[in-house]
Structure 1
């Protein structure tokens, strides 16, 4: 089951089969990332996945993860020592109490009230970008819309100047490569950009980055390293995952003949978003965890210092949690999933991602109710160790 983690293109639905077969075969599957790091991919049902995501014995500590990865590099005789910015000391890669402290400094910008205040501007940006799309001819929705739209939003929220956003997007895309020789220079370049932005005169004090630089919790401030790690986390997580979610939802609505129904009944849009999060989440595997002691997962003993990645797709399509789990259906009584994680590391930006995607789908379906997919086969899905989403999505927008 090593193909649970390997890169390369699959066809839509094929990665579902791989994940579901893996869950049926057992809870743990050895895999090796392209850089040689050995991990165990966990494919279990929804209830157990939730328990593991909240289990204190599965640490997110950046130092522990980096030490184990470097140990593996040394064991292989590799001279590689640098790790990408996403392994930095952010709240993503920390345990309590450090995680609690870091999250408290960022949470106000992502609470329900703050997200709702962004809705009018998200609607404006969505409408402006859709106005530029050609009607009645083939476009690639990924390149023309799904990628630039959330970058505009996260750029405004965080304070990335508009003139820099295309460059930042290119660096993010390159950094997500599973080839270390490609991803590491991009990570270094993005780190250099964030350093210049966070310490320079262009920083908008009213933006989230500006607020984080000035954040004061009873005299407690983020260090420069913590600011840098937070920048990596918020920009990459806030953009890459939302672009993939938009792409997956549009694909699923068309693939399941629900586009015109959503155009006629906008109330179906949140159901479509939730069913895609359950059935076809853009984040396939939770980011790395490391065991702090031996533990048992569904009858299999896992040694201490094992790097784990919990598969979200297999958990969402768990046949115990959901009737007819392998099918895409919007008439489910519940749509339980772990697409945004679970426990203390539940995604801080989940509300913003849902809001953006719902606004996009409502606008596209209402304007272009007869839109069609123009490919001759299921689109190619590009995977890395974390994400999976159609590489291109050829559509013809039809009024």
Structure 2
């Protein structure tokens, strides 16, 4: 029987440490439940794989703000006036045009061509910590690796990377209090101002970076700025969390860790298992029903918000046997951790490549890797259940 969940189901950080028992309990009662989020709107969470995957590809569930209630559109525009000008918050045909422009920079050939540079960055980061015997795997490795990669793709100088990390963290936190709302608006203004100057520079003198690819395409300045903001967050958040969550999973399962050390050829499969087991993006960004519809027999009215919980879908026992068990040899791994349908993550090949390089190097370079604190001391960054990310991951080796 579906439940009516309070907004705290999404807005409370209390479940961040281990949300999976909660998801399992709710899935047992039904795949779809009503939730009071956004505050003051009709909302529904989808928790199983079958209906979650279908919802992600359902054309009746739109991403564009034009389908949202007027009050929500006004709040969203106030927080980020460029929010609806990128492919994540648009629908075809605009989405098709915007995605095509970005896809030019993420072809399979171009991504694979980044492998030597990713290996070089990875080796440099591990060289810096290798003699210390201890490190924070988030601050010293999982964060800098993808932020260096995306920064180099965009053309952001090294001295700006920490600022971009701060901006990115602010953008994924749910702005609920007046202080958070004000800070969000401030960050958006700072970010857009920086990118506006960068776009102007590249329009005058294009190079071979991602900004140059975008400005020499068919996008207007608003669309370029909005797309760059999206790529900043999406271009590193997923990989940071994938590396950190996957490493923690191995530290919690030493037999699996030992197996992976003995059989490094399993790393690509292990990365897929990490994506399933502890999804780096816990909940997909909202969809909005464009008509009255049903999901798993639950009525969803026009204008309602639908939230697909990717982390719960990966633990659905209907598609992954013994789904709460980590198994780096698991066959036929099923997950939607990069989404599904037209909004499938464009950067998925890059995230997979970065993670495969990272875990291969960790296995080779940091023998005896183990957790450097008590598990109960670990804390998770709260983002309104959008991403699942550790604040820090102390390790010794």
TM-score for the superposition, normalised by structure 1: 0.90
Q: Secondary structure at the match of 1:210?
A: helix
Cross-structure match for 2:240 = 243
Cα shift readout 1:286-308 (whole Å, capped 9, x = no counterpart): 11111100100111101101122
1:214 to 202, 213, 216: 216
* Structure 1, unaligned runs of 5 or more: 74-79, 216-220
Question: Cα offset for 1:198?
Answer: 0.9
The answer as to whether partners of 1:4 and 1:18 remain within 8 angstroms in 2 is no
Contact 1:115 1:352 in 2 (8 A): yes
Is residue 100 of structure 1 aligned with residue 96 of structure 2? yes
Number of residue-to-residue matches in the alignment: 382
TM-score, with normalisation over the residues of structure 2? 0.90
Partner residue, 1:23: 27
Distance of 1:42 and 1:203 partners within structure 2: 46
Distance of aligned partners of 1:332 and 1:39 in 2 relative to their CA distance in 1, 3 Å threshold: farther
Map of 2:388 onto structure 1: 388
1:176 to 160, 172, 177: 172
Residue 190 of structure 2 corresponds to: 189
Looking at structure 1, the residues matched to 365 and 325 of structure 2 have their Cα atoms a distance apart, in angstroms, of: 28
Contact 1:38 1:307 in 2 (8 A): yes
Is the alpha carbon distance of 1:83 and 1:64 closer, same or farther for their aligned partners in structure 2, counting shifts above 3 Å? farther
What is the CA–CA distance in structure 2 between the aligned matches of 1:282 and 1:237, rounded to whole Å?
11
- Please state whether the residue corresponding to 1:110 is helix, strand or coil: coil
| Structure 2 CA distance for partners of 1:193 and 1:65, relative to 1, 3 Å | farther
Q: Residues 127 and 274 from structure 1, CA distance in 2 versus in 1: closer, same or farther, beyond 3 angstroms?
A: same
Q: Which runs of 5+ in 2 are unaligned?
A: 176-180
- 1:160 alignment partner, SS class: coil
Q: Which residue of 2 aligns with 1:32?
A: 37
Alpha carbons 2:292, 2:301 under 8 Å: kept: yes
Aligned to 1:60: 63
- Looking at structure 1, the residues matched to 242 and 110 of structure 2 have their Cα atoms a distance apart, in angstroms, of 21
> Deviation at 1:228?
1.0
SS in 2 for 1:139: strand
Pairwise CA distance, 1:148: 1.4
SS in 1 for 2:105: helix
Contact 1:10/1:380, CA 8 A, preserved across alignment:
no
Deviates more, 1:127-136 or 1:232-241: 127-136
Aligned to 2:136: 140
User: Are the aligned partners of 2:288 and 2:304 in contact in 1 as well (CA < 8 Å)?
Assistant: yes
Residue 267 (structure 1) aligned to one of 259, 265, 268: 265
| Aligned residue runs from structure 1 range 220-299, under 5 A | 221-257=218-254, 258-299=256-297
Helix, strand or coil: the match of 1:55? Answer: coil
In 2, distance between residues paired with 1:312 and 1:350? Answer: 15
